[in-house]
């Protein structure tokens, strides 16, 4: 049985009395209706989890007593980096939440020419904090004990320049590393890679609502990404990443 799970952004040790953060306290008491003695699970995103129980509920706080650390991990067998073209707020929130549930390791928001949402530095900072909170909530729900990274937005060209360096460093490694760009006109499909027995790292690039421009497609190809098509139908941006990651988990992951 999985008990209510709460993220605690600090050091956790066995036998420690922890006061839950305010937003977590409100969720535990007002939404879940937990009471003294209720069993819960705490994790800090660094691996493993701590069974615990609510020791005291006061007017201003909730105290939880932790038990022994359990080395439980629910991570994907291979590391997935999702580079997602920034889209409308509701769609982006959905993508972050659901890809975390599916096992993504890093989420890199990408600004493209057809991105409908343009973020200033101040707005970008606020959105990243919002997305990180969504990632935490998704980990609480799905059982993950390691927090995926939600990185600061980057221009597509800047990110591709960095990826070129990453690919050069990976060429001498024995492990399999794949770089895919989803495209409705690509010739290759996932079944063309079924001969890969395992994959260590996979980077998936997905465009915004309007897709990539021809110029962007060209520089992505130069950067060494393989165009990949998901069936005969054109998927919306909020569907594409989810469908691709689920399929990848079937092929090389833990589905």
**Averaged pLDDT of the chain:** 93
Query: 129 and 33, same structural domain?
Result: no
Burial (0-12, 13-18, 19+ Cβ within 10 Å), 28 = buried
Structural domain containing residue 182: 79-252
Query: 195 and 108, same structural domain?
Result: yes
3-state SS string for the chain: CCCCEEECCCCCCCCCEEECCHHHHHHHHHHCCCCCCCEEEEECCECCEEEEEEEEECCCCEEEEECCCECCCCCCCCEEEEEEECCCHHHHHHHHHHHHHHCCCEEEEEECCCCCCCCCHHHHHHHHHHHHHHHHHHHHHHCCCECCEECCCEEHHHHHHHHHHHHHHHCCCCCCEEEEEECCCCCCCHHHHCCCCCCCEEEEEECCCCCCCHHHHHHHHHCCCEEECCCCCCCCHHHHHHHHHHHHHHHHCCC
Give a yes or no: residue 200 inside a domain.
yes
Give a yes or no: residue 169 inside a domain.
yes
Q: How far apart are CA 79 and CA 173, in angstroms?
A: 15
Give a yes or no: residue 233 inside a domain.
yes
Number of folded domains in the chain?
2
- Tally of CB atoms within 10 A around 93: 16
Question: pLDDT (tens digit, 9 = 90+) per residue, 20-79?
Answer: 999 999 999 999 999 999 999 999 999 999 999 999 998 888 999 999 999 999 999 999
Give a yes or no: residue 180 inside a domain.
yes
Query: 26 and 147, same structural domain?
Result: no
> Beta 177-182 vs 62-66: how paired, if at all?
unpaired
Give a yes or no: residue 171 inside a domain.
yes
pLDDT above 80: residue 219: yes
Average pLDDT rounded to a whole number, residues 92-103: 98
Query: 220 and 111, same structural domain?
Result: yes
Percent of the chain with pLDDT over 90: 84
Q: How far apart are CA 144 and CA 48, in angstroms?
A: 9
Percent of the chain with pLDDT over 70: 97
* CA torsion through residues 54, 56, 60, 66, sign: negative
Query: 110 and 188, same structural domain?
Result: yes
> Beta 39-43 vs 5-7: how paired, if at all?
parallel
Average pLDDT rounded to a whole number, residues 81-99: 96
Q: How far apart are CA 179 and CA 163, in angstroms?
A: 9
Question: pLDDT (tens digit, 9 = 90+) per residue, 103-150?
Answer: 999 999 999 998 877 777 788 899 999 999 999 999 999 999 999 999
Give residue 170's pLDDT band: very low, low, confident or very high (50, 70, 90): low
């Amino acid at each position: 049985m999985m008990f209510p799970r709460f993220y605690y952004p600090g050091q956790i040790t066995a036998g420690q009395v922890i006061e839950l953060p305010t937003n977590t306290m409100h969720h535990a008491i007002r939404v879940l209706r937990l009471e003294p003695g209720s069993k819960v699970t705490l994790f800090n995103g660094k691996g493993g989890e701590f069974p615990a129980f609510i020791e005291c509920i006061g007017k201003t706080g909730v105290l939880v007593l932790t038990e022994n650390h359990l080395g439980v991990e629910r991570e994907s067998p291979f590391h997935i980096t999702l580079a997602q073209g920034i889209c409308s707020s509701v769609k982006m929130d959905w993508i972050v939440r659901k890809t975390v549930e599916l096992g993504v390791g890093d989420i890199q928001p990408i600004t493209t020419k057809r991105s409908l949402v343009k973020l200033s530095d101040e707005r970008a900072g606020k959105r990243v904090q919002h997305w990180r909170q969504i990632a935490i909530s998704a980990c609480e729900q799905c059982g993950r004990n390691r927090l995926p990274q939600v990185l600061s937005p980057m221009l597509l060209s800047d990110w591709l320049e960095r990826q070129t360096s990453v690919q050069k460093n990976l060429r001498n490694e024995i492990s399999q590393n794949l770089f895919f760009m989803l495209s409705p006109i690509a010739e290759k499909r996932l079944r063309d890679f079924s001969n890969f027995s395992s994959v260590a790292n996979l980077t998936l690039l997905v465009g915004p609502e309007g897709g990539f421009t021809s110029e962007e497609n060209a520089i992505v190809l130069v950067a060494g990404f393989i165009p990949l098509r998901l069936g005969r139908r054109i998927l919306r941006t909020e569907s594409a990443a989810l469908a691709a990651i689920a399929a990848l988990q079937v092929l090389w992951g833990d589905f």
